[in-house]
Structure 1
Amino acid sequence: MQNSYAELPNLVIRAANGVDFVYRDTGGHAEHTPIVLFQHFRGNLDYWDPALIDRLAQTRRVITFDNAGVGGSTGVPADTIEQTARDAIHFITAIGLTRTDLLGFSIGSFVAQEIAMRRPALVRRLVLASSAPKGAPGMHGWAPEVIGAVGKPETSAEDYLGIFFTESENSRQAGKETLGRIFGSRTQDRDETTDWATREAQYDAVCTWGIPDHATLERLAAIDMPVFVANGDSDPMILPHYSYLLAGLIPQARLKIYPDAAHGFLFQYHDEFATDVTEFLS
């Protein structure tokens, strides 16, 4: 039986850019294209919900990693999405993949878009969770309540719940269960916490990505592989209307909005989302 995500060892590989990337690899299912996951702002290997990873790993190889300067990986954290994508390509190449599926969450979805445009032969299918296109109006920085929750050195469980889940009883309960899995499933050999300098670099990248530029939106026509765009209907960090915009600009995109859900919809609906992703990738 395959080990759960919470039990996987932290692996290290040195890439051509000189970075020692820390990653986890579920292995198995060599008959299917593997999927590489890209994490949200401030997230590391242990901020993935193990329930989601385990569900995805039932049918395919799943790889998570810390990009340059994030968590346990060495190197300098990039302050642009473009450089973050270049670093990620170095990692993907280092582990020997020449063709892969990508799942990007939040800032990770920006990176996944950039890889799909920069290295299209590398990407078979693309999943964009809580995403927005570069240059979309209104994306230049986050709302004050979001900054107040995640844009400070220390955050609380209540901060996390307020952004990743809605105020409904069902969503908050799902959020508490998610936190229990994220922080309770793995108690030893946890990944290093992302430091403040990395968080600042990531937010610089987010703000630059969000500078309004109508012409930049036309780039998305270059993403010619199948794409699954998904979000919660009440995401305060990346508003759902950006998902509609994104899906409308990508030629082969399909869209799903999950009800009574916020930024962490993919954890709240981990089983349903994993089923949707698996069906899309198949």
Structure 2
Amino acid sequence: MTNYTHDTVPTQFVEANGIRFAYLRFGKQGGIPLVFNQHYKGTMDNWDPAVTDGLARDREVILFNNAGVANSSGETPSSFQEMGANAIAFIRALGLTKVDVLGFSIGGFVAQEITLQAPDLVRKLILVGTGHRGNDMSQSQSNAIFSGNYDPPEHLWLAVHFSPSETSRAAGLKFIERKLRRQERDPEVSLQTVEAQGAAIGKHIIPRDDALDYLKTIHQPVLVVQGSNDVIIPTKHSYTLQQNLPNAQLILYPDANHGSFYQYPELFVAHANLFLNV
């Protein structure tokens, strides 16, 4: 595994809960692995190799497609609680008893569910560009962005992850170049996955007076990472996470949108390593 990179590591499969999960596993062995949970409509190919390879220099990295996503079998469930349960089954099927968990965007909702449902499994948690139950999404531009037309289609991710500034857009074009290098590519997500993820988002953001109470039960150290102006999951929700999680710190990257860690991959890797290594 140590000889592979994100671009060269072959896809493997493992079965759990009647699901055949596709995954990539590479990096430095011997420590606690870091398990990545992906964003809306995303597959393993949507991760930035500058981030995954950067982190893999010091630890084992595990990327996977959750149930029904791309080349994983089964159907994508319509709640983040079920997605979290499937993720736990996947992790345990690899024979792992302790992991660090990273969740990006809706993957952050799944990562929180993993931690809530299997607290003994999770050592530390990194939440990027995400929020909490009962998010006020009235200021989100996600519907307009995801329903737009893009030429080439990959430029959707410029609008999703990067700000309109010249500097941010230039970083976005480099990100797209990096993530298109992989030869053994996943199929696109199905309509069933997109609809199920959308239904899960709808359930997750229902306002409730006690919506934040669950955060008090997450006692693991948490690193919250966000862009200064996230137009997908508004930045204010990351501040709310940090204020309500018992042991959390917050990093805001300047002139950055939803994919802040893709705009500053080297800086993020340094921050993540500092957090994970302590």
| TM-score, with structure 1 as normaliser | 0.94
| Equivalent position of 1:3 in the other structure | 4
For 2:49, the aligned partner's letter is P
Question: 1:21 and 1:4 mapped to 2: Cα distance?
Answer: 20
Which residue is equivalent to 1:263?
258
Instruction: Give the alignment of 1:160-175 within 5 angstroms.
Output: 160-175=157-172
CA distance, structure 2, for counterparts of residue 50 and residue 102 of structure 1: 17
The answer to whether the 8 Å contact 2:27/2:58 transfers is no
Pair 1:36 & 2:35 matched: yes
What residue in structure 1 maps to residue 178 of structure 2?
Answer: 181
Sequence identity, in percent?
38
C-alpha deviation, 1:216, in angstroms: 2.2
Q: 1:252 aligns with which of 244, 247, 256?
A: 247
SS in 2 for 1:193: coil
Q: What letter corresponds to residue 222 of structure 2 in structure 1?
A: V
TM-score (normalizing by structure 2)? 0.95
Q: Which segments of 5 or more consecutive residues in structure 2 lack a partner in the other structure?
A: none
Q: Give per-residue Cα distances to partners, 1:75-119, cap 9 Å, x unaligned.
A: 110110000001101100101111100000000000011111111
Is 2:200 the partner of 1:201? no
- Determine the structure 1 residue equivalent to 2:156: 159
1:246-281 residue CA offsets vs partner (Å, 9 max, x unmatched): 010000000000001101111111111011111101
Cα distance in 2, alignment partners of residues 146 and 53 from structure 1: 25
Partner secondary structure for residue 246 of structure 2: coil
What is the rounded CA distance, in whole Å, between the counterparts of 2:226 and 2:147 in structure 1? 21
Helix, strand or coil: the match of 2:130? coil
CA RMSD, aligned part only?
1.6
1:12-51 equivalences in 2 (<5 Å):
12-15=13-16, 17-30=17-30, 32-51=31-50
SS at match of 1:5: coil
CA distance in 2, matches of 1:170, 1:99: 39
Alignment of 1:1-282 (within 5 A): 2-15=3-16, 17-30=17-30, 32-136=31-135, 138-139=136-137, 143=140, 145-151=141-147, 156-183=153-180, 185-186=181-182, 188-282=183-277
After superposition, the Cα gap between the structure-2 partners of 1:168 and 1:152, relative to the gap in structure 1 and judged at 3 Å, is closer
In 1, Cα distance between equivalents of 2:209 and 2:92 = 33
> Is contact 2:27–2:57 with CA below 8 Å preserved after alignment?
no
User: What is the letter of the counterpart of residue 188 of structure 2?
Assistant: T
Aligned counterparts of 1:221 and 1:151: Cα–Cα separation in 2: 36
Matching residue's letter, 2:4: N
The amino acid of 2:164's aligned partner reads E
Larger deviation, residues 264-273 vs 59-68: 264-273
- Structure 1: unaligned runs, 5 residues or longer: none
2:275 aligned counterpart, secondary structure: helix
